[in-house]
Amino acid sequence: MKINIKLIFLIVFSVFLAVSLIGFCSLKLGKIKSEAGGGTEKAKGIMILIEYKDTIGLSNFVNEMYERGIRGLLQVNPEFVEANCDVVKQLPKYNIEIMASNDGAPFWDMPYEQQKARIIEMKEKIEACTGVPVRAIGSRYMASDMTTIKVAEELGIPYVIARGTTDSKATVYQIEGYHAKILSVSNIPKVQYKYGSLCDYSYYERSGTPDDMMGELMRSVEPLTPKEQARYGSYLRVTPVSHTNIGGYLKPWMDMWLEFWDTTKDKIEWVNLDEFMKDADWVLPDWQLPINKNAPYTPEKIRPLVPYEEVEKVQNPCKVEDVSVTESNEEGQADAGNKIMMFHNGAGPMCLEALDFVKTIDYPAEQFLDYEESFADKLDKLRTEFGQSEGVSESFGYYPIIFIKDRAFSGFNEEIKNEIIKEIAK
């Protein structure tokens, strides 16, 4: 039989071309999958803050977030808001949205009428303070259920917060037929701390350390693998949580948060609540919504390594709640006159040291305390006139805030004291 060389050549060439195209397509497909799996794409992040004790740690934490452009939610009950309205009402100016939370019984399986009455009460009390609509609701342990979602839908509240269901990845669910969306927060997958949210309290109360939490935080912002996307949803989201009486007041934990924020600038895009919730990972019928009812905070499991009272505290409880700076008037117009005007909260080493100093000098001094009715108006007027402060902060970030003649100081230390003495001597 005569061999057709041309035909053989054509067949070999065709096979070679087909293999090359398949290889090229495989490479392209692999690249697309890699990009879909995360690649260099940043995680979307939003901080969740929890506070029910006082505003010291909260103020510290919010200040540090604001300086870094980090957005967050404050999970808080209406009773705390009413008691601390002067602080809470400032927070929306600093990219903190208020989330109404029931700190009594969790909402899991709570009857419809009871949930609805409490949610309406929370909403009305918080809005009376802030003047801003409540757009997110939850309860103790970040508990919610389908009843919560039904009430939110009826009241026009767009977001419901839920305990985590997808390990350290935060997930957005939407129920078929509902506009309200559910934010299932980041959880801790590691066995020793499992079922707790990705929160400093979850670690601290169960013998964890800042290093333990830092390791999980860093892992939580790694790109999702294709397998994780198929299992949990395609969007990389993370919701780190802080009880700010821990994260904003216990120094080892505050240091951990600062390190995390500062070392992940290229890995996280901190966004507002609407952007974070924009696209649902899953749209499900109500019977398929996963609900996590694990709350591992029983007395036998609360075993901090170091008692709260013995942990080193952040030495800046004079930090100012409202750190915004309005544009100043023309240079040269600011003048407090021949007297000291000192604005403070009467707490913390810098404020107390400044008060001791004022007692030692023979010079007129007026004091304004942060609970006085006209405190904010007077301070805002002077900050507008002076525009910038000297000392510990250039943005009026710390109490005491001291005005003397044409100078403004924020915080207090030996250097500030000497500068004030120089002004008095002029």
The model's pLDDT over 236-256, given as tens digits with 9 standing for 90+, comes to 999 999 999 999 999 999 999
pLDDT at residue 80 in the model? 94
For range 165-174, the mean pLDDT? 96
- CATH 3.40.30 positions along the chain are 340-425
Name the band, by pLDDT with cuts 50, 70 and 90, for residue 212. very high
| Cβ proximity of 168 and 275 under 8 Å | no
pLDDT at residue 258 in the model? 96
Judged against a pLDDT cut of 80, whether residue 21 lies above it is answered with no
pLDDT at residue 28 in the model? 36
The neighbour count for residue 293, using CB atoms within 10 Å, is: 12
Tell me the pLDDT tens digit for each residue of 108-163: 999 999 999 999 999 999 999 999 999 999 999 999 999 999 999 999 999 999 99
Q: Please name the residue that has the structure tokens 């305390």.
A: 369
Lowest mean pLDDT among 84-98, 189-203, 309-323: 309-323
Tell me the pLDDT tens digit for each residue of 283-297: 999 999 999 998 876
Q: What is the CA radius of gyration of the chain?
A: 27
pLDDT at residue 5 in the model? 59
Judged against a pLDDT cut of 50, whether residue 22 lies above it is answered with no
Q: How many CA atoms lie within 13 A of 262 on its CB side?
A: 8
Beta strands in 178-295 (DSSP E): 181-184, 237-238, 241-243, 268-270, 282-284
Torsion-angle region of 201 (φ positive above 0: left; ψ -120 to 50: alpha; else: beta): alpha
pLDDT at residue 331 in the model? 46
Each as own residue / partner, the long-range contacts of residues 9-14 (CB below 8 Å, 24 or more positions apart, any chain) are none
Tell me the pLDDT tens digit for each residue of 341-358: 999 888 777 888 999 999
Whole-number Å distance between alpha carbons of 46 and 134: 17
Whole-number Å distance between alpha carbons of 66 and 374: 25
pLDDT at residue 319 in the model? 57
Structure tokens at 52: 């029910």
Q: Which of 8-17, 37-46, 57-66, 214-223 has the highest mean pLDDT?
A: 214-223
Whole-number Å distance between alpha carbons of 236 and 168: 10
pLDDT at residue 316 in the model? 58
Burial class (CB in 10 A: 0-12, 13-18, 19+), 54: middle
Name the band, by pLDDT with cuts 50, 70 and 90, for residue 19. very low
- CATH 3.20.20.370 positions along the chain are 43-310
Judged against a pLDDT cut of 50, whether residue 86 lies above it is answered with yes
Tell me the pLDDT tens digit for each residue of 386-424: 988 998 888 787 889 999 999 999 989 999 999 999 999
Judged against a pLDDT cut of 70, whether residue 69 lies above it is answered with yes
Name the band, by pLDDT with cuts 50, 70 and 90, for residue 23. very low
Tell me the pLDDT tens digit for each residue of 201-211: 999 999 999 99
For range 269-277, the mean pLDDT? 97
Q: Which CATH architecture has domain 340-425?
A: 3-Layer(aba) Sandwich (3.40)
Torsion-angle region of 391 (φ positive above 0: left; ψ -120 to 50: alpha; else: beta): left
The CATH class for the domain spanning 43-310 reads alpha beta
Give the torsion through C-alpha atoms of 256, 259, 261, 265, to 10 deg: -160
Lowest mean pLDDT among 11-15, 167-171, 328-332, 408-412: 328-332
Q: Please name the residue that has the structure tokens 């009880």.
A: 243
- Which amino acid appears at position 2 of this protein? K
Q: Which residues partner with 404 through β-bridges? A: 340, 407
Three-state secondary structure call for residue 134: coil
pTM: 0.70
| Cβ proximity of 148 and 155 under 8 Å | no
